Amino acid sequence: MWLHFFWRTVMKGLYIHIPFCVKKCEYCDFLSFSGCENYFDEYISALLREMEKHQGTEFDTVFIGGGTPSVLSYKQIERVCDGIKHSFKLSPNLEWTMEINPGTITEEKIQAMKDGGVNRVSVGVQSFNDNELEAVGRIHRSKSAYDTVTVLHNAGFSNISIDLMESLPYQTDDSFKHSLEVAMSLPISHISVYSLIIEDGTPIKEKYDNGIYALPDEDSDRDLYKYTGEYLKQNGFSRYEISNYAKAGFESKHNLKYWNCDEYIGIGLGAHSYIDGVRSYNTSVLGEYISGVTTVDENILTKNDKMGEFMMLGLRKTEGVDKNEFYRRFDVYPDGIWKSQLDKFIALKLMKEENGAYSLTQRGIDISNLIMCEFL
Ligand code: SF4
């Protein structure tokens, strides 16, 4: 079978981290800081220095994430984009995403993004209900999120993604469905729907611990997840990953690199890279990064690590784990390693084997974390 030996040519992805926000949201444990405007220019200088270390690398995806990259001024956005174009070879089919938050965007910034090469925008909407946005400390309100997407579309962005959150404080089934409906009335091509996760050390954790807010029960969570999949499907958005839905051809190429275990270079504070089977980690200390320290740790993955990750991350995708691709990478088929687990999950209808791939069924998605753990 020649297919076994077909070599998928995959270029690397580039991630640039902007660790700044206007204000910390109540649930956020990402590496981001508010009140650091005085460091923006120095931070960008450090980013440009780190880019030079990888001078000439070729990428077909760029993702400027955060934090809130759109807190930068338009001049600073120009500096970052110019640095990327100056340092790297960018594929003609480049997907270049920038994350933005409503309430931080201006005409000049939109122009700087367009001139810079950004052709995909990911907007952190989270909800179209003001009481939910307020409860989690977002700086914007529903109208501003709606207007932001409209303005981006009118400015010529045809590939717009939004994020929504499920299980927010005060959220009801109806209010979540309202957010979905508003989302579907907007000119977007991709939507991510994540559940609120209550992380230790965040202000919102205390409120849940003190009974001010309560989490929805698992059954209603599952029902809403199913509703979301069906409703979005009716509107032309297919689920291609557990939490991600897109119109045909608008799946995030960059994020697919993570789920496919392809290589990427992360630049910026706390950024990770994955190259030649080595995962490396940048410092998370802002002062260190600005003063020129970058990589502080490395982890060389064993073959077992790589197989486990390929299976675990691949199962997040609706198309699942391609058996021939697994063989091409590891010289063994998945059932040569995990026969008993695969037989068990297939018999329990938690997984299926279809079109030469293993994937999760709807029931399997409901307990995906438990299933994935068995392949690590
Ligand atoms: S905007 Fe995003 S990164 Fe910034 S604090 Fe809120 S959740 Fe965290």
Q: What are the structure tokens assigned to 333, written together?
A: 């088929």
For residue 8, the model assigns a pLDDT of 62
Q: Choose the residue to mutate in 17, 23, 26, 30 for probing ligand 1, maximizing ligand atoms within 8 Å of C-beta.
A: 30
DSSP track, 71-131: GS-HHHHHHHHHHHHHHSEEEEEEEEEEEE-TTS--HHHHHHHHHHT--EEEEEEE-S-HH
Query: Which secondary structure element, helix H or strand E, spans residue 205, and what is its range?
Result: helix 203-209
For residue 218, the model assigns a pLDDT of 84
In three-state secondary structure terms, 249 is: coil
Q: Give, as one character, the DSSP assignment of residue 247.
A: S
Alpha-carbon distance of 294 to 296, in angstroms, equals: 6
The atom number, within ligand 1, closest to the CA of 29 reads 8
For residue 5, the model assigns a pLDDT of 45
Which part of the chain has CATH 3.80.30.20?
7-259
Tell me if the bond preceding 287 is cis, omega within 30° of 0. no
pLDDT tens for 118-145 read 999 999 999 999 999 999 999 999 999 9
Topology of the domain covering 7-259? pyruvate-formate lyase- activating enzyme (3.80.30)
Q: Based on the number of CB atoms within 10 Å of its own CB, is 51 exposed (0-12), middle (13-18) or buried (19 or more)? A: buried
Q: Whose CA is nearest to atom 2 of ligand 1?
A: 67
The answer to whether 324 and 334 have CB atoms below 8 angstroms apart is no
Q: Whose CA is nearest to atom 5 of ligand 1?
A: 24
- What is the CA(141)–ligand 1 centre distance, in A? 15
For residue 376, the model assigns a pLDDT of 85
- What is the CA(24)–ligand 1 centre distance, in A? 6
pTM above 0.75, yes or no: yes
Which part of the chain has CATH 1.10.10?
303-376
Q: Whose CA is nearest to atom 8 of ligand 1?
A: 28
Single-letter code of the amino acid located at 123: V
Q: What is the mean pLDDT of each run of 10 residues along the chain (376 residues)?
A: 55 98 96 96 98 97 98 98 98 97 97 98 98 97 98 98 96 97 98 95 93 86 95 98 98 98 98 97 97 93 97 98 98 97 98 97 95 92
- What is the CA(103)–ligand 1 centre distance, in A? 13
CA distance to 253, 310, 325, per residue, from 321 (Å): 17, 8, 8
List residues near ligand 1 (CB under 6 A): 21, 24-25, 28, 30, 32, 66-68, 101, 124
For residue 3, the model assigns a pLDDT of 45
Alpha-carbon distance of 155 to 114, in angstroms, equals: 9
Alpha-carbon distance of 28 to 214, in angstroms, equals: 18
Alpha-carbon distance of 9 to 325, in angstroms, equals: 12
Alpha-carbon distance of 239 to 191, in angstroms, equals: 9
Query: Which secondary structure element, helix H or strand E, spans residue 257, and what is its range?
Result: helix 253-259
Domain 303-376 is found in CATH 1.10.10: yes
- What is the CA(337)–ligand 1 centre distance, in A? 40
For residue 7, the model assigns a pLDDT of 53
For residue 58, the model assigns a pLDDT of 98
Q: How many CB atoms lie within 10 A of CB 136?
A: 22
- What is the CA(133)–ligand 1 centre distance, in A? 12
Q: Which of 143, 142, 132 lies closest to 204 in space, CA to CA?
A: 132
Q: Choose the residue to mutate in 25, 132, 163 for probing ligand 1, maximizing ligand atoms within 8 Å of C-beta.
A: 25
For residue 1, the model assigns a pLDDT of 43
- What is the CA(32)–ligand 1 centre distance, in A? 7
